[in-house]
Amino acid sequence: MSINHRVVITGLGVISPLGRELTPFWNNLANQSSGIGPLSSLPLDVIPCKFGGQASCFTGDISEFGPLEKNLQRAIKKNQKVMCREIEMGVAACQLALHHSGLADPQLRDPDRFGIVFGSDYIITRPEEFSDGIAACRNESNEFQMPNWPQIGRPQVNPLWLLKYLPNMPASHVAIYNDLRGPSNSVTIREASSAASIVEAVSAIRRGAADVMIAGATGSRMEPLRALNFMSTEPMASNRENPAEMARPYDIDRDGNLVGEGAGALVLESLDRAVARGAKIWGEVIGGASSAVGDTTGAHSGRDHIRTAIKNVSRTLLDQATKAGVDLSSDQWHFHGCGKSDVQGDASEAAGIRDALGDLDVPVTAAKSYFGNLGAGSGAVEIIASLLALEHQQLFPVLNTKKVDPRCPIRVAKSSDPAGNAFAHVAYSKQGQACGVFVRRL
């Protein structure tokens, strides 16, 4: 990144298993309250893991999108018929962040200088979209007749069905509703999506292409087919009598991921503009980095590619922080890890963090211990959690980590650890894509 314009964070929006507004979200973190509970949106008779992080605070009601003028409320409500839940959560998080920033009034923003970069998972179409068409093509024996599909089945499918599942639609909806004509982009690299979106948005402001950007991501592992796919390809946590104890990052007794859902959005703004309008500044983004390292063995056994990707990103972030004059003494900042509770993944991630930190004894926290894996939405929600930790000068500990795995050579955050005045956040996908940001408090 070139350093032409300093970029700060002036608005936050969150949809998560810990709450839909910043106050309950923070209170749950501060009180070490888990958002993991019994799943009600998935067919429990066919999935192995019965618990996860549901964003039960979000039902899709228009009131949950934040304070909106009537015309904007009508526009969003009308178009919810072409939004799946992930897109709804993403749009809601963006509208909440926009309101929180004080820029909800169109007269306060220049549409040509306001853009959006937003991430998501690849979104799986629900089979129900095709049920009427399939039913129309069954014969008397209830057998599906493929030759009948073009003329009889396909016309029964809503012609707009695909709009409900395109990963670029959160950014598209938000840009259209709010008349944002600046740079626009969408990112789809699983858990690394949030930080990648923020890095791109910051770059747009630094190079002078925009004055204000919305960035973040939405994600879910809760849709039935997605949940089945995730549970069959990723190690999952074993069911426990107390589900709040199932997410256990870096613990020697961890045994896998937990499904979750959520979205987070940040309003990013040039420092000069934010100061000129008297905006509340939550932090300054001083660094961003990404790395992609493939698994050359194909075995996924050692996960060395993840270790290398995490190391590459973390070292770059620390170099950027040093150049920006950040005090990297051990108690002056914290590291926010990905912390999926994956046995091998956590070990590889922690080794990569240690490679980058060297002798620095920095507390490492992981908010997934509170709500599970939110997919692409995880990073944005976690970054908001760390911003609130800086604001309240209180670091939330990693839940359930009673004995740190010797293969995770990091200082796992406890309730007594300070939040400091800055943080690094890094996330990775199992394919070896990693991305991170470094933020300091002003």
List the domains of the chain with CATH numbers. 7-124+165-440 (3.40.47.10), 127-162 (no CATH)
pLDDT for res 40: 86
Q: Are 98 and 13 in contact (CB under 8 A)?
A: yes
Query: How far is 171 from 187, CA to CA, in rounded Å?
Result: 10
Number of CB atoms found within 10 A of residue 99's CB: 18
Q: Check residue 125 and give its pLDDT.
A: 87
Q: Mean pLDDT in the chain?
A: 94
- In whole angstroms, give the CA distance from residue 439 to residue 284: 5
* Distance, CA of 331 to CA of 213 (rounded, Å): 31
Note the pLDDT of residue 294: 83
Residue 227 has pLDDT above 90, yes or no: no
Q: Identify the pLDDT of residue 225.
A: 82
pLDDT (tens digit per residue) in 247-261: 999 999 999 999 999
| Buried-state track 211-230, b at ≥16 Cβ within 10 A, e below 16 | bbbbbbbbbbbbbbebbbeb
pLDDT at 1: 42
pLDDT score for 45: 76
Closest CA to 434 of 277, 350, 318, 309: 309
Q: What is the mean pLDDT of residues 179-185?
A: 97
Q: Which residues contact 359 (CB under 8 A, 6 or more apart)?
A: none
> What pLDDT is attached to residue 48?
79
The pLDDT-based confidence of 2 (bands split at 50, 70, 90) is very low
The 10s digit of each residue's pLDDT in 359-416 is 999 999 999 999 999 999 999 999 999 999 999 999 999 999 999 999 999 999 999 9
* Predicted local distance difference test score (pLDDT) of residue 235: 87
In DSSP terms, which residues pair with 411 in a beta bridge?
A: 363
pLDDT score of 34: 97
> What are the DSSP calls for 131-180, one per residue?
HHHHHHTB-TTS-B-GGGIIIIIGGGS-TTGGGGT-TTHHHHHHHHHHT-
- The mean-pLDDT minimum among 140-149, 219-228, 266-275, 351-360 falls in 219-228
> Which tens digits make up the pLDDT trace of 421-439?
999 999 999 889 999 999 9
The C-alpha atoms of residue 96 and residue 77 are separated, in whole angstroms, by 15
Asked if residue 102 has pLDDT above 70, the reply is: yes
Q: What is the pLDDT of residue 248?
A: 97
pLDDT of residue 87: 97
Q: How far apart, in whole angstroms, are the C-alpha atoms of residue 94 and residue 214?
A: 7
pLDDT in tens, 25-71: 999 999 999 999 999 877 777 777 889 999 999 999 999 999 999 99
In this predicted structure, what is the pLDDT of residue 291?
A: 94
What type of residue is 378?
A: S
